[in-house]
Homo-oligomer: A and B are copies of this chain.
């Protein structure tokens, strides 16, 4: 069986499962995300991961932190078409939100990381993102910061300051970034006036139109688990429309760039709908400016449907009702160096 056929079969099975019973397609956000056995949560680990997440010293010139592109004070994104790394370099893709990323079964637009741990290792060493030259260079730098050395030992034991453990701490912090109690969640739990009439119409429409064939499950991004198993779709599926050229939707080959399997051309991980109203601009290339246009584009390119403006408005009302509650958090104090800086320039 070819990769494509196999994938299609998986897709159909998942879609059928999602459709079975209608309302089953939507689930409230669980209170806790899955936690891998080899990276249990602890308060100290989360506190360390939070410091690392906000620390620009993880970038070669001390200007870019994880939070620069995944701003937890906002939507968990940078609200830019593509992100900007060290030296003003632009990346190729739109930054996905870090909020609720813990519920995704693979990370990155192309699913090239199976876990949050694996994801966290990427941008630090990516020359156009945080630009550190090597894992060793990262360790060497953090070793100069006594507060980090101490905390890594406390959390991971002697010799605890390793690149793997940096990723583990960051991932542990990210697993706390959950936005519960969106109006949709409250509605699904029985609070029937949590949704406006427009949002309720939108909720029915996303099923009738077919959006929830892919956008189902706790994160509205496909089946829940197992971790490492991605749920991919071809985008665009229907290419004979104005949007494909207008928004340059074919230039990036998606998952093919990772696997080099021709069946993976234009395959993308299904992204979450949670907080989607806050994460403009849209799609892997960030070329679509507004949520209503994103809805039109998806209906046409994925389902070959032209929505009426009323339908678009109702679907947008539903998607807006997927904005959750952002738990307040304290600013981390970054551990200090006394009398010198670990960031230097020739």
A316 at the interface (CB under 8 A from B): yes
Determine if A345 and B81 form an interchain contact, defined as CB atoms under 8 angstroms apart: yes
Determine if A277 and B328 form an interchain contact, defined as CB atoms under 8 angstroms apart: no
Closest 9 CB pairs of A and B: A88-B88, A291-B339, A79-B341, A87-B88, A280-B341, A74-B334, A290-B340, A63-B84, A277-B338
Determine if A339 and B326 form an interchain contact, defined as CB atoms under 8 angstroms apart: no
* Interface positions of A from 314 to 346, Cβ below 8 Å from B: 316, 320, 323, 326, 328-334, 336-345
Pull 21 A–B residue pairs with CB atoms less than 8 Å apart, ordered by A. Answer: A61-B80, A62-B80, A63-B68, A74-B333, A80-B341, A80-B343, A81-B344, A86-B88, A87-B88, A278-B337, A281-B340, A289-B340, A289-B341, A289-B344, A290-B340, A291-B340, A316-B339, A320-B339, A323-B338, A328-B331, A329-B331
A79 contact set on B, CB distance < 8 A: 57, 62, 337, 341-343
* A interface list, Cβ under 8 A from B: 54, 56-57, 61-63, 68, 71-75, 78-81, 84, 86-89, 277-278, 280-281, 289-292, 316, 320, 323, 326, 328-334, 336-345
A-B contacts besides A73-B332, A291-B338, 5 pairs, CB < 8 Å: A63-B78, A63-B80, A79-B342, A280-B337, A289-B344
Determine if A336 and B74 form an interchain contact, defined as CB atoms under 8 angstroms apart: yes
Taken together as a complex, chains A and B put the C-alpha atoms of A87 and B338 apart, in Å, by 30
User: Please, which residue of chain B has its CB at the minimum distance from the CB of A280?
Assistant: B341
Taken together as a complex, chains A and B put the C-alpha atoms of A81 and B63 apart, in Å, by 12
